[in-house]
Structure 1
Amino acid sequence: MKKIIMALVAILVVVVIGIAALVALVDPNQFKPMIAEQVKKATGRDLVIEGDISWRFFPSIGFDIGKTEFRNPQGFAEPNLAQFEQAELSVSVTPLFSQQLEIGNVSLLGGRVFIQTLENGVSNLDGLSGQDKTGSAADQSVAEPSPTETEQPVPQPEQQAWQISLAGVEINNASALIIDDKAGSKTEVERLDFSIDQFAPGEWTAAKFNITGSAGELSFSAEGQTDLLIAKTLDGAELKALSFKASAKDSVNDIRNATISLDSFKLGEWSTIEFAIEGQVPDLSFNTQGSTQLMVDEAVKVIDLKAAKVNVDAKGTSLPRPEMKIGLEADAKYHLENGLAELPSLKASVNELAVAGSASFQSADIPVIRFDLSSDHIDVDAFLGTGNESASSQQGDDSNQAGTAGANTGSASEKDKEPDLSVLKTLDLAGKLAVGQFKAANAHMSDVTLAMTVKNGVFDLSGLDAKLYQGTIHATAKIDANGKLPTYRVTKKIKGVQVQPLLVDVAQNDTLAGSGDITVNVLGTGLAEKRIRENIAGTVDIRFADGAIYGVNIPEMIREARATLKGQKAEYVKEEKKTDFSSMSSTINLGKGIASTSNLDIDSPLLRINGNGSTSLVDETIDFAVNTSVVATSKGQGGKDIDEVADLTVPIDVKGHWSEPAFSLNIAQLLKQNNELEQKAQREVERGLEKLLGDKAQDEDIKKAADKLLKGLFN
C-alpha cells in the first residue's frame, strides 16, 4: 500500500513538474506567428493576435486569448472581417480517458463580424471556402490504391460514443454589420448578448438572448428565453417555456410591442402558441391577439394549425370605418415542399360582415388562391357607412349652384382617374361566394351566388345570380387590365323585377313603376367615371308591364290640349300625376356619350304612346319627343272628356336635367299636325273679331294682324 501511495505521489510530482516546466519554458505567445502563417496560407488573409495567449490548468486545461482580428482584403469599408476582444475556452482532461468531452465555460467578449458586397458583386467572404485546394485533394484520392477484391477489411473494434457536456456559453457585447452596395441594403446588429446554462445532451438547459439593431431605416430590438433539450443522439431537440418580445420602428411604422409564447415544442406533438402585436402604420393603429395549436410532423414536411384564432382592433383614416374589428378562425395545413396552405375550415368577420367556408393558397411567383365561401347576410352599405341618403343631399341646394359647379370642376381629376388594377396581374384566383341576403348601393338581393376568376390580368365574373325585387338577375362581366386602358364587357338579364321599389332604393326616384325585364349588353374602354360615360357602347332592351309613369298625367295634358283647341281653359281636376300603361318597351343604344332610342312604345287601354330622343350621359340632359294618341272610350283614366279627342295625337316634349325633367305640351306641333283644327282655330278667331269689331273686322290691316297672331301661335 505504501508503495502505491509513493507511486501516486511520484506521478503527481511529475505532473506538477511538467506543468511548471511547460509554463516556465513554453510561452504560448510564441505560437502567434505560426498560427498567423497557417491562417494566411489557408485563406490568404492576415490574422492579427494583439492580446496575450495564456494557459489555464485549474480546474481544467484551457486558454485565454486577447484581442484578435481577422483582416479583410483592401477596398472594403472596415479593415476586419471578424474580431473579438477576449475569448476563453477550457476542457477537463481526466474525463477524456473515458470518452467524455467536458467543456468548461465558453466566453466571447466584444465579438464583431463585418460582411460587405461591393457594387461589382465582390464580397469579403470570397476565397474563404478553400475550394481552390480541392483539386490537389482529389489528385491525392485518385493516387491512393483501392483495395483489391482479395483484400479483406480489417475488423474494427466497436467505438464507444462520446459524451459531451458544456458548462455554459456566454457571448457579450457582440455586433455585426452586413452591407450590400449592389442591392443598396444595410443591416446592423448593434449589440447581441447570448447565454446558455450548463448543457449536456438529454438534459434540459436554459438559454436567453438580447439583440438590438437596424435594417435600413428600421430599428429593432428583441429579447427572449427558453428551456432547451438536445437529444442524446444529437438528432432532435425540444423547447419549452419559450417567450419572445420584440419592437421595431422607422419613420412611418411603429411596432411597439410584439410577443410570442409557446408552452412546448417537439416534432410530431401539438404545441400551444399565443401572440400579440400592437403598433401603428401609416393612417392605421392596430392591436392584434391570437392563439393556435401547432404541430410539425417528424419529417418536417407539414405544419398543422388547429383552432387558430386572430382578433384585430383597428383604427385609422385608411379604413372604411374609423374603427373596425376583424376576426379569423381556421384550421390550416401548410405543405413545406410545395408551399401549399390549405384551410378546410375558415370563418372570417369584419365588424358585421361574416363569411365561412374553405380556401387554399399556394406560394409561387403568382400566388394561386382558391375559395368557396358563404354568408347569411352581407350589408355593404352598413359596413361602409353609406346607404339611404336623402335626395336633398344628392341634389344640393339650388341657391348654391355656382358653388356646386365649382366643386364639380375641382373633382374633374378624380373623374379622370383610373382605378389601380395592377393586382389583377399578381394573382391566380378562382372561387365561389353564396350570400343569403345582400345589400349594396341600397339595393336588396337574396339567394346570391357568384363565381369569379382572376388570372393573367383578367377579372372574369362568370356568373352572378340572385333574386331581386320579386324578380331574378343573371349577370356576367369581364375586365381586362392588360392594355394601356382597361377594357370591360358586361351582360345582365333581369326578369320580373318590380321597378319602382328598386328605383326608390337605388336612386330615390319613383317616376316609374311596373314589372320589368331588362337585357343589358355593353362594353367599353376605361373605368374612370368620365371615360365610362364617354366610351360605353352597346344596347339596353327594356320590357315593362302593368305600370305607370309618375310625375306626368297625360290624360290631364290631353284635356288641356282639348281646351286649348276650343279656346277655353281646362277645368282643374284633382288627380295624381301619373300615367298608367299596360306595357312599355324600348331599345336604348349607347355610344359616344349618348343614350338614344327611336322605338319607345307605351300601350294602355286608353293611350298609345311612342317616342324618340336622346340623353347625354356626360351632361345628364334629356331631349325626348313623345307622341300620345287617345284610342279608347270614356272608361278608364281620363273619363268621358277624353272621348271628345279620341284618335287625336298629342305631342309632348321631355327636356331638362335628369334630376328635374320637365314635361310640356307642344302646342305648335299639335296644331300643325291637324290642318282641320288649324283652320277651325282661324275661323274661330275671325268670328271672334267680327263680334268684337263688327264691320271693322274686314279691314285689311286688322286681318293682317290676326294672321300674324295665328302664325305666332302655331309656330
Structure 2
Amino acid sequence: MKWLIRILFLVVAAFGLVIGALLLMPGDKLATILAEQVKAQTGRDLELTGEVRLSFWPVLGMETGPVTFANAPWAGSEPMLSAQSLAVGVDASALLSGDIRIKKVLADSPVLRLERANGRGNWELHQPGSSPESGASAQAVESRPVTLERLELSNARLIYLENGAVSMDFANVDLSARWPDVTAPMEMQASMSVPGGAVEVDLTIPDLPAFSTGVVTPLELGLTAPGGDIQFSGRVNLAGEMDGKATVTAKDTHKMLAAFGQGGVTVPKGLGQVANVSGQMTYTQDGRISLRDMIAVLDHNRLEGEADIQISDPPQITARLDAGDLDLSDVGGSDTSSGGSQAEGWSKAPIDASFLALANGRIRLRANSIAVPGMVFGKSDLTLSLDRSRAVLEMHPATLFSGQLNGQVVANNRNGLSVGGNLTANNIDINEALVTLGDIKRLSGKGSGHLEFLGVGLTEDQIMQSLSGKGHIEVGKGVISGLDLDRLMGQGKGSGGTTVFNSLSASFTMKDGDLTNNDLLMKLDNFRADGAGRIGLGARDIDYLFTPVALRANSGQGISVPVRIKGPWSNPSIKPDLTKVIEAAAEGKVKELEGDAKKKVLEKVGKELDTTVTDTDQIEDALKDKLEEEAKKGLLKLLGGD
C-alpha cells in the first residue's frame, strides 16, 4: 500500500512541477511551444506576439496578443486568420476523456479568409504527410466529438473566395455562435454595419456534424436589414448551395438596396418600392438563383411565374411572368397629370430612367392589361430585353387603342435618354389614339399602318421636339367632327357638324418634331379630298390645307373649296381658304371674258367681210377671198366691163 501512495505522490509531484514550470516559463517560450505543436498537428505556422497567458483547470486555455494563422499552401499568401487578440478555452476534464468541448473562442478585430478551389477548403486541417482522403491521424482527430459553447468575433472582417475570386467581403461584423452538444443545433448570430443601420443574421443548422462532412442538411436563415428582411427554410451543403422556401420582404426597397451596396438606384412605383417576393429557391455554387412557383407583389401589382438570376453587377435575369392588371403608370418619374394641362405643352419634368440599369436579362410578360404613362395596353404578350441601360420591348402582339401592335420600342439610357420604335398597327381606334397621344378629338375611325420613329432628350418635351422617322396610315369608314363638307360646298360655310368619309390614306415623314404629309386622300360618297401640310408634334400645332372636291357639281366637272386647318391642337381654326377660291374663280372668269371677246371679234370680222367666221383660222381665208373678189371687180371696171 505504501508503494502505491508513493507512486501517486511522485506522479502528482511531477505533474505539479510540470505545471509550475509552465506557469513560470516566459511568455515567448510558451508561444514557441504552442506554435511548434500547431505546426506538428496542422502543417501551418502559428505566430503569437505579446504576452501569452495559460490556464489549466477547470479550463485549459490561452490568451494572447496579436496572432496570425497561416493559410493553406495552395491558397493565397494572406493568413487564413489574424486578430489583435485571441482567447481560447477548452474543458480540461472532457479533454481527458477524449472529448473536445471548447468553452470559448474570443477574437478582437479578426480577419477570417475562407477560400475554396478545386473542391478543397482552406479550413480543412490535416497533419503533415496525411491526405484529406486517407490520413489516419486526421481521421482520428476528426472522429473526436467537438462542441462549442461560446464563439465571439468582435469587429471582424469575413472574406470568402471562390477559385481565387472574392465572392463575399464583409467588414465591421460582430459574430457569435454556440453548439453546446453534438446532438444540439448550431446557432449563429451576426451583425454588420451598413448604410442606414445594420444587417442582422440569425442562422440555425440542426445537424452540424453531418453538415461539416459535406452532407446536405436542413438550414433556417433569417436576415433583417434596413428596409426589409429575408427568410429561408430549406437545405444546404458545405459548398453553400441551397434549396428551399425563400421570402424577401421589402418595406422600403430604396433603403434595402442601399444597405446591400446599391445606393442611388431608384425603383419606380409599381416595380416594388414596397415588395414581397416568395418562391422555391435554388442557389448553386456558381452564383445562380432559380425561383420556381414565384409570387411577387410589387406595390399594388401581383405577378406569378419563374425566374433565374445570375448574381453579378448588375444581376442577370431570365424570367417568365403572368400578371392580371399591371399598373406601371408611374414608371419614368415624370408627372403628366400635375401642373398645366396637356394643351399647354409637353411635360418638361426630367425623366428618371436610372431603373434601366437595375439588371440585364430577358423577361417575358403576359398580362390582361398594362397601364404605362399616358396610355393603357389591353391583353398583351411582351418580351423585355435589358442590356446595359438599354431596354427593348417586343410586342407579339400588344393590345392598344382597341387594336393590336406588333414590333418593338427601344429606350436607351447609356449616353443620355433616347426612345425609338418600329411598329405595325392593325384596327387601331384612331380617336382613342389621337386623344391619348395628342389631345386631338376631331377624327375617328379604325386604322392600320406602320411607324418608325426616334426621339432624343431628357424630358418629354425634348423628345417630342426632336422626333424623326416615317410611316403611313390607312383608315376605313370614319368621321371628322367640326367640319361639314355638304355645307361647305353648298354655302361656303363648313364649321360645325360632321363629315362621314369612306376611306382615308396618307404617308408622312418626321423631322425635328414636325410631321409632313403631301398625299392625304379621303374618299366620300359625293366628294373626294386631298390634303398636304405640317403637323407640329413638338409644338403641338397644325398648318394643313384640306381640299375637298364636289364630284357631281358643275356638270360633273367638280367644284373645290380648299379648307385651311391652322392653330394649336386644342383649338385649331377650320376655315375655307378664300385665297384659293378667288384664284380659282378669277381663273374661270378670265377664260369666260376671253371667250366673249373672241366671239365678238369673229362676229365683227364676219360682218365686215360679209361672211360667217366661227374660228380665228377662218379669218385669213375670208380675207383672201374678199381681196380676190375686190381685185376682180376693179380689173373688170378698168377693162370697161360691167
Which bracket does the TM-score occupy, shorter chain normalised? Answer: 0.5 to 0.7
Matches within 5 A, 1:253-268: 267-268=215-216
Cα separation, 1, equivalents of 2:188 and 2:247: 29
In the TM superposition, residue 511 of structure 1 has moved relative to its aligned partner by 0.5
| 329 and 35 in structure 1: CA distance in 2 versus 1, 3 angstrom threshold | closer
| 160 and 645 in structure 1: CA distance in 2 versus 1, 3 angstrom threshold | closer
SS at match of 1:465: strand
Match of 1:423 among 357, 363, 382: 357
**Cα pair 1:321 1:385 within 8 Å, conserved:** no
Backbone CA RMSD of aligned residues: 5.3
One-letter amino acid matched to 2:582:
L
Corresponding position of 2:486? 555
Corresponding position of 2:92? 91
One-letter amino acid matched to 1:621:
D
In the TM superposition, residue 550 of structure 1 has moved relative to its aligned partner by 0.6
Structure 2 length normalisation: TM-score?
A: 0.66
In the TM superposition, residue 624 of structure 1 has moved relative to its aligned partner by 1.6
Q: Structure 1: which 5+ residue stretches go unaligned?
A: 72-80, 118-128, 130-136, 139-155, 180-184, 239-265, 281-286, 397-403, 562-569, 634-642, 683-715
Cα separation, 2, equivalents of 1:390 and 1:212: 44
Q: Structure 2: which 5+ residue stretches go unaligned?
A: 40-44, 69-81, 114-121, 123-127, 130-135, 160-168, 255-265, 594-642
Cα separation, 1, equivalents of 2:148 and 2:238: 30
| 436 and 101 in structure 1: CA distance in 2 versus 1, 3 angstrom threshold | same
Matches within 5 A, 1:131-280: 164=144, 169-170=149-150, 187-188=171-172, 197=180, 199=181, 203-205=182-184, 214=193, 220=198, 230-231=208-209, 236=211, 267-268=215-216, 273=220, 275=222, 277=224, 279-280=226-227
Corresponding position of 1:330? 279
Corresponding position of 1:339? 287
Larger mean Cα displacement after TM superposition, 610-619 or 100-109: 100-109
Q: Deviations over 1:531-570 (max 9, x none)?
A: 4334332222121221121122233233443xxxxxxxx8
In the TM superposition, residue 528 of structure 1 has moved relative to its aligned partner by 4.5
Q: Deviations over 1:612-667 (max 9, x none)?
A: 2113333222222222221236xxxxxxxxx8998222122211111111111222
1:29 aligned onto 2:8 = no
Q: Deviations over 1:431-472 (max 9, x none)?
A: 422223444456554442223433466544444413445543
Matches within 5 A, 1:230-629: 230-231=208-209, 236=211, 267-268=215-216, 273=220, 275=222, 277=224, 279-280=226-227, 293-296=233-236, 300=239, 302-306=241-245, 308-310=246-248, 312-313=250-251, 320=269, 326-336=275-285, 338-364=286-312, 367-381=315-329, 393-395=341-343, 414=349, 419-420=353-354, 423=357, 427=360, 429-440=361-372, 443=375, 445-455=377-387, 458-468=390-400, 471-479=403-411, 484-485=415-416, 489-504=420-435, 509-523=440-454, 525-526=456-457, 528-561=459-492, 577-629=497-549
**Cα pair 2:198 2:225 within 8 Å, conserved:** no
| 465 and 621 in structure 1: CA distance in 2 versus 1, 3 angstrom threshold | same
Corresponding position of 2:50? 48
Cα separation, 2, equivalents of 1:387 and 1:449: 27
Cα separation, 2, equivalents of 1:536 and 1:192: 58
In the TM superposition, residue 675 of structure 1 has moved relative to its aligned partner by 2.0
In the TM superposition, residue 610 of structure 1 has moved relative to its aligned partner by 1.4
Corresponding position of 2:569? 658
Match of 1:648 among 543, 559, 564: 559
Number of residue equivalences: 536
SS at match of 1:671: helix
Structure 1 length normalisation: TM-score?
A: 0.60
**Cα pair 2:321 2:366 within 8 Å, conserved:** yes
Cα separation, 1, equivalents of 2:2 and 2:552: 144
Cα separation, 2, equivalents of 1:213 and 1:456: 31
| 490 and 112 in structure 1: CA distance in 2 versus 1, 3 angstrom threshold | closer
Q: Deviations over 1:103-153 (max 9, x none)?
A: 5774567x5346699xxxxxxxxxxx9xxxxxxx99xxxxxxxxxxxxxxx
In the TM superposition, residue 214 of structure 1 has moved relative to its aligned partner by 4.5
Cα separation, 1, equivalents of 2:387 and 2:484: 53
In the TM superposition, residue 358 of structure 1 has moved relative to its aligned partner by 2.5
1:12 aligned onto 2:13 = no
| 387 and 448 in structure 1: CA distance in 2 versus 1, 3 angstrom threshold | farther
One-letter amino acid matched to 1:358:
E
SS at match of 2:483: coil
In the TM superposition, residue 512 of structure 1 has moved relative to its aligned partner by 0.5
SS at match of 1:557: helix
One-letter amino acid matched to 2:305:
G
SS at match of 2:453: strand
Cα separation, 2, equivalents of 1:476 and 1:323: 25
Cα separation, 1, equivalents of 2:271 and 2:312: 35
Cα separation, 2, equivalents of 1:533 and 1:664: 28
One-letter amino acid matched to 2:585:
N
SS at match of 2:50: strand
**Cα pair 1:102 1:166 within 8 Å, conserved:** yes
Identical residues among aligned pairs (%): 17
Cα separation, 2, equivalents of 1:178 and 1:237: 19
Q: Deviations over 1:75-94 (max 9, x none)?
A: xxxxxx7555976556349x
Cα separation, 2, equivalents of 1:311 and 1:173: 29
Cα separation, 2, equivalents of 1:188 and 1:21: 44
Larger mean Cα displacement after TM superposition, 488-497 or 441-450: 441-450
Cα separation, 2, equivalents of 1:547 and 1:113: 79
| 160 and 48 in structure 1: CA distance in 2 versus 1, 3 angstrom threshold | closer
Larger mean Cα displacement after TM superposition, 221-230 or 546-555: 221-230
| 28 and 650 in structure 1: CA distance in 2 versus 1, 3 angstrom threshold | same
SS at match of 2:562: strand
**Cα pair 2:514 2:535 within 8 Å, conserved:** yes
Corresponding position of 1:708? none
| 107 and 676 in structure 1: CA distance in 2 versus 1, 3 angstrom threshold | closer
